[in-house]
Amino acid sequence: MSLYEQLKQRCQDDWTAYIQHAFVRQLGQGTLATECFQHYLKQDYLFLLQFSRAWGLAIFKSEDLASMRYAQAGLNAMLDTEIGLHVQYCRDWGISEAELQALPEAAATVAYTRYVLDAGLAGDLLDLHVALAPCILGYAEIARWLAEQPDTRRADNPYNAWIEMYLSAEYQQAAASERELLDRLGQDLPPARLAALEKRFRTATRMEISFWQMGLELTD
């Protein structure tokens, strides 16, 4: 069994609570309150800035050229493409770039992003990618899960573009590449190391749950 599947299996209750969160369900059904989605989008912008720092840290933590280039590609994609696309998407939802730049970080945003950075600083490249996995791989899985649900609305759903973005072949391939790297770095782990990584994965997954809850409850 791959490292990713092992981690999900060990953290199944938390993982299910994340993938099938009420925020996700309402988004798929098209019933999520507009202000909840807007709050999520605003904080996700701030998350992406810290996520870019995590990719920079991945370059520093890499011990071979292939891993460095992989992390560099992730950083370039974030800074040159993804953040710009997110700003445009926020604009479509009535959120200006000036508003995004003036936003304070919500407590859930600080907790999650700094946890990821701390995992990378305190650990090695595998620790960092395990902490990133619930975001990168989880969003790909959420999009697939939503596409399979009979009550997910695709037509006339204001959030369908979000579903399509993470269901796209491009994003699914990016997630597959991340999974391959995770599994390559996590080969033949002793039980103690696997247990430590399980703790990192579980904590990051709980941070993702808190991020959804932040959007649902409009908390700062």
Query: What is the set of active-site residues?
Result: 135, 208
Q: Which residue has the tokens 């649900």?
A: 149
Q: Do the Cβ atoms of 209 and 128 come closer than 8 Å?
A: no
The amino acid that residue 40 corresponds to is: Y
Tell me how far CA of residue 210 lies from CA of 29, 82, 207, in angstroms: 21, 23, 5
Buried b (16+ CB within 10 A) or exposed e, 113-144: bebbbebbeebebbbbbbbbbbbbbbbbbbbe
Cβ within 8 Å of residue 47, ≥6 positions away: 109, 112, 113, 211
Q: Which residue has the tokens 């997630």?
A: 175
CA distance 101 to 51: 16
Report how far residue 126's alpha carbon sits from residue 62's, in angstroms, rounded to the nearest whole number.
9
CA distance 197 to 191: 10
How many Cα neighbours within 13 Å face the side chain of 196? 13
